[in-house]
Structure 1
Amino acid sequence: MNINTTRYYELLEVPVDASQEDIKRAYRVLALKYHPDKNPDPSAAEQFKEISEAYGVLSDPERRKLYDQYGAEGLKLFEGGGFGEEAAYVASMMGSIKYIGCLFCILLLVLILFPIFIVVKTKSGGVSWSWAKVFSPMWILVGISTLLFGIIAIRIKKLGTTVIFIQHICVLLFMAFLTANLDGRTHLMWAKVFIPIYILIAANMGKKYEVFKKDAYEKRFTDPEYLRPVTNFGLGRLGFWIRSFYTDLHACWFFVFLILKIDRAVGWTWYINSIPLFVYIGTYFIIMFLDNSAKSKNLDQIDEEDEGGHKFFVSIFCCIMIPVIIFIGLLAAHLTSDKFLIAKIFAPIFILLGLFFCGFCLIFCLMSFFGDKGYDEFAKNMGMDESNFFNVVNQKLQRPQRFLEGTAISVEQSSSSGEQNV
Structure 2
Amino acid sequence: MADLFDSPDSTAGAMGTPRPLADRLRPAALSEVIGQDHLLGPDGPLGTMLAVGSLSSLVLWGPPGVGKTTIARLLADETDLHFVQISAIFTGVPELRKVFEAARFRRKSGKGTLLFVDEIHRFNKAQQDGFLPHMEDGTIVLVGATTENPSFELNAALLSRSQVLVLNRLDAEALVAMLTRAEAELDRKLPLTPPAREALVTMADGDGRALLNLVEQVAAWSVKAPLDTDQLTSRLTRRAAQYDKSGDAHYNLISALHKSVRGSDPDAALYWLARMLKGGEDPRYLARRITRMAVEDIGLADPQAQGICLQAWQTYERIGSPEGELALAQAVVYLALAPKSNAGYAAFKTAMAAATRTGSEPPPKHILNAPTNLMKEQGYGDGYLYDHDAEDGFSGQNYFPDGMKRGIYYLPVERGFERELKKRLDFFVHLRAKRKSD
Please indicate, yes or no, whether the TM-score normalized by the shorter chain is above 0.5.
no
Bigger relative contact order, structure 1 or 2 (CA pairs below 8 A, ≥6 apart): 1
Indicate the structure with greater strand content.
Answer: 2
